[in-house]
A and B are shown apart, each in its own frame.
Chain A
């Protein structure tokens, strides 16, 4: 019953309509035009009218081109042969390697039964203090990196890919600049991480619709590896491009837009991807880190806004640093009580003081006289930014905590830290610089 249809009724945007019978929702088809063949999938059925979105775009498709239905939904090959390989959004090789056809799996499968999930309990160490100390990344977490265009989010992702303690990395690029794609490839090759990495890359020069498949394909593969007991880290960049591609299709389909042209189901669509992050009971895990660029640094833009409600926190990249305000790892409480007894208290205490530093800084910029307390805060803030926040700092967690106490002791007296006395006495460096200074004065 794999009939070929040679009459396309309408073409609008990247959506074509043909009259056909016995077609199932979500089925795949091949559209052959003079510019080559492309996959397409069914997105709406009405009587015998079948609407399909064409992955390679409908540009150049003629009303007389043939549409062949494959009678199955979109699938991707899954095996260890994927490791070290580079594919495009539809799963075709990009690296001149052989095409993989064995063990095809469905993409966009059903969601995991919450009863089969477990509470995440393992920290993924990255060696970046702003992540490890202040907002620990946890296995099975889904976290976006909110960023303005121009921030070094891709280098940050690449560093995490190199340093993170996981078994497998899947990099999904959506609308990735070609240069960035080459950058990722080179960095991971140089760092020797290529053999544990799989690329699914859709570049900005590829047809838009194909980018829509990247998260689904990447996550379907990640899920299978996780079921085999692997710890998988999925890096997606950039999810705003994904949302924009969805917007394009929704508007072509004449759906009522809800907010700035985005479809009403933006939240559900994003959620069904992010929720693939999972820690399986008695198997592996999928962790998702996804770049979401914020147009105009506006966190209330529908894409970052909806994302923030779905994900378990966010890293906020600003001026080349992971900003401590706004950044949040919701799952950190699951792991940061098992690292060291001072981790939690120090984390909160340092941020509270940093918030006061920002206030003092504001007062200073308005020309007010700086009290002694303000001066202490100012010196603290500068030290903190220089020694902890810089993205190039690469030290293990324990060392970072010690550094935190050192910074505090250089700037404050013990009772000014707002931390419980027991902890302060235990961890306060013995040769506390601040205490010594005042002793000398006396």
Chain B
């Protein structure tokens, strides 16, 4: 097929209108040629012989009559070994290499190879001549960091039975050298190298079946793991007003989450935050592997000052890379920060296309686009029986912190857990500022459900008492109610709140969570002997002090046990009995 060409006839912001000669496809990539530079763009509307293109670069200097070349291909990413540890922009340009070439600033029109074409990888074949393979089956592996990176039959081949007609011996190859040749049932042969291209806006579906997410993904944040768990292969969203700690929460999760690979899509957010990850991750060691955290991380970064159109591409680039690693039987976590910026990028383009605006000028297709993005998460069983998953956690930045806006609402419809951040809690420096009572999760956690329910109920009642006290005052509240309030406040400050900057408290293992929660549960379910409100407050203040010190003591250290001892003593001073409704405690008492 001949590739089409065209001429620019209009420019508004980052959208150019092109008069086209030839056949073009929706979402096809074209280049606007301005002098010596070629600006990558994507077709977003076709009518008659004119096409509208969004340009992934600044359009300064483009003039009417400039020529446009089309590629005949949709926006794609390169998949192959060497992706881990990379820092890409939204179009998969490696940023450090770009910096080497262009210096401090991002010059437009410069596109580099996503993967190093000269590096040799040690390939070990997994099939032999005559074996039959299907799409996305591994024909061999290479070692990429700590992982066995599967070299797969490219996803773009049609569903069919293929026969291996030749395969190389174990040896070192670049990503573009042919390592295997396969032929389909009609006898057509395909040469396979270690890398291939895949269009970002198409979900990878070459797995056996999709399963229900039922295993928890541990984040080491107490509030999440205990009360609002996230499942591997599930989806969750973190809406919150600015300054409530969305990004810090994402950063903590990216460090401590128990998954194989983390992909961070910094989409339209601050460059400074990406830099923190960029500079700190190579220095940090992954406690599970002992290697640098960067070896399990890919960063896709399209910060707020980078061109808007590439922002939209960046979330798709990220999810495509996640799906690629899922096909290797790995568990991948994709953190998108923030999906609102992506939605705004859609709104900007929609405005330039002069489409009829929906709510708050967002396009009418907002909901379906968001839904189909989150639907790319999931646990899947691969052809060889192994499991892989993509978990997606997206932050939402609602205008004015009001969750009633279109992006938050569209997101809430499709996710499995909602971690809503509250301005009130962050103002009071209660971090993580996830509102424990307004948020929800549909997934199963690791802590016994009845106990969690008991504590949640206590938090609810404590909040009720607190609200009531605002009306009737402390003196109008009974001692029992006051103790409920104190208990809930105590649980909040020593368990739900967590100091992410503390080396010990920052990441709490699941064993420790279970242990501490059990201890805490006993306090929650106990009746205490208190003479007055003052006495009760004093008692809980002392308990809180002990717990705060306890949270700072390393697991299984001497001081951990010492403080636990003091807590036990303090607890016994005023303890009367356990709540008689609870079976497990009845025997203990």
Chain A residues in the interface with B (C-beta under 8 A) = 21-27, 44-48, 73, 108-120, 140-141, 227, 255-259, 263-265, 267-268, 271-272, 274-276, 278, 280-281, 283, 299-302, 305-306, 308-310, 312-314, 325-326, 328, 330-331, 333, 337, 344, 348, 351-352, 355, 362-363, 366, 368-369, 371-373, 415-416, 418, 420-421
* CB-contacts of B266-308 with A (<8 A): 268, 270-272, 274-276, 278-280, 301, 303-306, 308
Docked CA distance A141–B275 (Å): 13
Instruction: Point out the residue from B10, B243, B360 that lies within 8 Å of A328, measured CB to CB.
Output: B243
B351 at the interface (CB under 8 A from A): yes
Given contacts A114-B95, A275-B271, A368-B474, contact A25 B304 (CB under 8 A): no
* CB-contacts of B290-345 with A (<8 A): 301, 303-306, 308, 338, 341, 344-345
* A112 lies within 8 A of B473 (CB): no
Instruction: Point out the residue from B107, B305, B402 that lies within 8 Å of A272, measured CB to CB.
Output: B305
- Closest residue of chain A to B472 (Cβ to Cβ) is A368
Docked CA distance A273–B209 (Å): 47
- Closest residue of chain A to B95 (Cβ to Cβ) is A115
What 0/1 pattern do residues 346 to 363 of B give for CB contact below 8 A with A?
011011001001001100
Q: How far is the CB of B51 from chain A (nearest CB, A)?
A: 15
Contacts of A302 in B (CB 8 A): 399
Q: How far is the CB of B47 from chain A (nearest CB, A)?
A: 15
Docked CA distance A257–B347 (Å): 10
Contacts of A45 in B (CB 8 A): 10-12, 62-64
Q: How far is the CB of B497 from chain A (nearest CB, A)?
A: 10
* A280 lies within 8 A of B104 (CB): yes
Docked CA distance A24–B470 (Å): 64
Contacts of A271 in B (CB 8 A): 268, 304-305
Chain B residues in the interface with A (C-beta under 8 A) = 9-13, 17, 58-65, 87, 95-96, 98-99, 102-108, 241-243, 268, 270-272, 274-276, 278-280, 301, 303-306, 308, 338, 341, 344-345, 347-348, 350-351, 354, 357, 360-361, 397, 399-402, 427-429, 470, 473-475, 493, 501, 533-534, 537, 541-542, 544-545, 548-549, 552
* A22 lies within 8 A of B63 (CB): yes
* A111 lies within 8 A of B106 (CB): yes
Contacts of B60 in A (CB 8 A): 24-26, 73, 108
Docked CA distance A256–B13 (Å): 14
* B351 lies within 8 A of A113 (CB): no
Instruction: Point out the residue from A25, A264, A272, A344 that lies within 8 Å of B348, measured CB to CB.
Output: A264
Contacts of B99 in A (CB 8 A): 113, 115-116
Given contacts A114-B95, A117-B271, A280-B104, contact A363 B473 (CB under 8 A): yes
Contacts of B534 in A (CB 8 A): 371-373
* A73 lies within 8 A of B61 (CB): yes
Q: How far is the CB of A122 from chain B (nearest CB, A)?
A: 14
Docked CA distance A372–B541 (Å): 14
Instruction: Point out the residue from B306, B338, B549 that lies within 8 Å of A421, measured CB to CB.
Output: B549
Q: How far is the CB of A251 from chain B (nearest CB, A)?
A: 13
* A116 lies within 8 A of B552 (CB): no
- Closest residue of chain A to B544 (Cβ to Cβ) is A418
Given contacts A265-B348, A300-B400, contact A368 B104 (CB under 8 A): no
Q: How far is the CB of B471 from chain A (nearest CB, A)?
A: 8
Docked CA distance A305–B242 (Å): 8
Q: How far is the CB of B467 from chain A (nearest CB, A)?
A: 12
Docked CA distance A110–B102 (Å): 11
Contacts of B13 in A (CB 8 A): 265
Given contacts A73-B60, A116-B99, contact A418 B427 (CB under 8 A): no
* A355 lies within 8 A of B278 (CB): no
Given contacts A268-B308, A369-B474, A420-B552, contact A110 B105 (CB under 8 A): yes
Docked CA distance A45–B60 (Å): 11
Contacts of B552 in A (CB 8 A): 420
Docked CA distance A263–B13 (Å): 12
Docked CA distance A369–B474 (Å): 8
Most buried by A among B65, B305, B348, B545: B305
* B63 lies within 8 A of A305 (CB): no
Known: A45-B12, A371-B533. 4 other contacts (CB 8 A): A26-B61, A47-B10, A113-B103, A275-B305
* B541 lies within 8 A of A415 (CB): yes
Q: How far is the CB of B179 from chain A (nearest CB, A)?
A: 32
* A418 lies within 8 A of B545 (CB): yes
Given contacts A310-B304, A333-B501, contact A25 B360 (CB under 8 A): no
A-B contact pairs, 14 of them (CB 8 A): A21-B65, A22-B64, A25-B60, A45-B12, A46-B17, A73-B60, A113-B102, A258-B351, A258-B360, A264-B347, A302-B399, A312-B272, A326-B243, A333-B501
Q: How far is the CB of A85 from chain B (nearest CB, A)?
A: 26
* B11 lies within 8 A of A308 (CB): no
Docked CA distance A140–B276 (Å): 13
Given contacts A110-B58, A310-B304, A312-B270, contact A369 B473 (CB under 8 A): yes
Contacts of B397 in A (CB 8 A): 309
- Closest residue of chain B to A46 (Cβ to Cβ) is B10
* A310 lies within 8 A of B270 (CB): yes
Q: How far is the CB of B383 from chain A (nearest CB, A)?
A: 38
* A259 lies within 8 A of B361 (CB): yes
Q: How far is the CB of A228 from chain B (nearest CB, A)?
A: 12
* B427 lies within 8 A of A326 (CB): yes
Contacts of A119 in B (CB 8 A): 272, 275-276, 279-280
Docked CA distance A349–B243 (Å): 19
* B95 lies within 8 A of A113 (CB): yes
Given contacts A23-B63, A300-B399, contact A115 B242 (CB under 8 A): no
* A275 lies within 8 A of B304 (CB): yes
Q: Which 3 A/B pairs are nearest by Cβ-Cβ distance?
A: A300-B400, A275-B305, A271-B304
Contacts of A421 in B (CB 8 A): 545, 549
* A267 lies within 8 A of B341 (CB): yes
- Closest residue of chain B to A281 (Cβ to Cβ) is B104
* A331 lies within 8 A of B272 (CB): yes
Contacts of B278 in A (CB 8 A): 114-115
Docked CA distance A24–B87 (Å): 33
Given contacts A275-B305, A415-B541, contact A115 B98 (CB under 8 A): yes
